[in-house]
């Protein structure tokens, strides 16, 4: 049961998006102040920088990409302060272009798109577990390939489970045997997969089903204290951590870093957000236990 009340938030708002926008505004304001005195001396192309931003291209990785894997495409460039010596200012890559919103029905059809092909083996030592990645039909704004890339990038990160020397992981295609499946599921399907119909809010793990609730993938949780990309990394590591045998853990103290197996979706309890099981090359864990946090009714 504890494994089913995995990651969860307290509202559907995406706090990260607002912060990112706010940071973008601050950055642009700074650029404008710096640029205005020199605007008459620069070319038309630079004037775009005065106005704020130039969208270089559409995002190619979309919302499924983990934060650590944010590509250099789909970025907003701001023009840096023109040098008074006349050198061409170098563009500064700052804020990723807004990906399309992840949209989903409250209850999907329980049919799936499973990503084909294989990922590299993640990790260099330990038992090898293979997993599939399946995205429920009806979910738009993130393709199965994007979601799979986000999962693989997270699990292959040197801060993730595969760095500990105990586990290696590999994503495989739909026709291959697998030890578990990572689902991106609508809220109602999440309840069905985890035999817990009352909870449409959290993600969960039930036997070989690692179920990421698309509502949390889309919106994260309020008051998480970190960007949505980090919350997504957290929820993947947390739920896969259950599959690897880890139970819930407690915040070790006010102001400390939350263990990845803390139910950060439901409350931080004085800890700071953390998406990773490894810190400084070592497993970072808290005391076993969980809080009796209420699960929000909203998706
Ligand atoms: Zn959990």
Distance 77 CA to ligand 1 centre (A): 39
What's the gap in Å between 121 CA and the centre of ligand 1?
25
**Ligand 1 geometric centre to CA of 159 (Å):** 18
- Å from CA of 29 to ligand 1 middle: 41
How remote is the CA of residue 204 from the centroid of ligand 1, in Å?
A: 6
165: left (phi over 0), alpha (psi -120 to 50) or beta: left
- Give 260 Cα–ligand 1 centroid separation in angstroms: 9
Q: What are φ and ψ of residue 128, in 5° steps? A: -100, 120
Q: How far is the CA of 90 from the centre of ligand 1 (A)?
A: 45
Residue 166 clears pLDDT 60, i.e. is over it: yes
How far apart are the CA of 189 and the centre of ligand 1, in A? 18
- Delimit the domains of the chain by residue range: 1-299
Instruction: Give distance in angstroms: CA of 220 to centre of ligand 1.
Output: 15
| Residue 152 alpha carbon to ligand 1 centre in Å | 19
Determine the distance separating the centroid of ligand 1 and the alpha carbon of 61, expressed in angstroms: 28
CA of 57 to the centre of ligand 1 (A): 38
The mean pLDDT of the chain is 79
Which residue carries 């801060």 as its tokens?
A: 159
Average pLDDT over residues 146-163: 98
Q: What is the pLDDT of residues 191-211, one digit of tens each?
A: 999 999 999 999 999 999 999
DSSP state of 63: G
User: How would you write 227-249 as a 3-class SS string?
Assistant: CHHHHHHHHHHHHHHHHCCCCCE
Q: What tokens appear for 86 in the block?
A: 């006349």
Tell me, in angstroms, the distance from the centre of ligand 1 to residue 7's CA. Answer: 6
Distance (Å) from CA 154 to ligand 1 centroid = 17
C-alpha 38 – ligand 1 centre gap (Å): 54
Burial of 89 (0-12, 13-18, 19+ CB in 10 A): middle
Ligand 1 centre distance from Cα of residue 110 (Å): 23
**Can you give the pTM of this predicted structure?**
0.70
Average pLDDT over residues 224-233: 97
What confidence score (pLDDT) does residue 89 get?
62
Residue 200 Cα distances to 105, 121, 138, 229, 297, angstroms: 12, 33, 16, 21, 7
Distance CA 200, CA 155 (A): 25
pLDDT level of residue 91 (50, 70, 90 thresholds): low
């Amino acid at each position: 049961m504890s494994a089913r009340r995995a990651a969860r938030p307290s509202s559907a708002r995406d706090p990260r998006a607002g912060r990112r926008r706010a940071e973008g505004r601050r950055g642009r304001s700074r650029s404008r102040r710096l640029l205005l005195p020199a605007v008459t001396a620069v070319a038309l192309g630079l004037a775009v920088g005065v106005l704020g931003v130039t969208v270089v291209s559409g995002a190619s990785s979309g919302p499924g990409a983990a934060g650590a894997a944010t590509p250099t495409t789909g970025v907003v460039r701001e023009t840096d302060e023109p040098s008074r010596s006349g050198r061409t200012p170098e563009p500064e890559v700052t804020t990723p272009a807004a990906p399309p919103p992840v949209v989903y029905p409250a209850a999907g059809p329980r049919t799936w798109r499973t990503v084909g092909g294989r990922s590299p083996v993640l990790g260099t030592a330990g038992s090898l577990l293979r997993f599939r990645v399946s995205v429920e039909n009806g979910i738009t704004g993130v393709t199965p390939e994007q979601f799979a890339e986000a999962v693989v990038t997270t699990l292959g990160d040197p801060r993730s489970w595969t760095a500990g020397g105990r586990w290696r992981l590999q994503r495989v295609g739909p026709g291959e045997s697998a030890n578990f499946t990572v689902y991106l599921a609508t809220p109602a399907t999440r309840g069905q997969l985890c035999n817990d119909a009352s909870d449409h809010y959290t993600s969960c793990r039930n036997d070989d089903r690692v179920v990421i609730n698309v509502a949390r993938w889309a919106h994260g949780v309020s008051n998480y204290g970190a960007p949505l990309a980090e919350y997504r990394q957290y929820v993947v590591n947390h739920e896969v951590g259950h599959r690897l045998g880890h139970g819930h853990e407690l915040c070790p103290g006010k102001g400390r870093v939350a263990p990845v197996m803390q139910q950060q979706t439901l409350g931080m309890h004085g800890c700071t957000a953390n998406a990773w099981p490894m810190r400084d090359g070592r497993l970072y864990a808290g005391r076993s236990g969980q809080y009796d946090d209420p699960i929000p009714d909203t998706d």
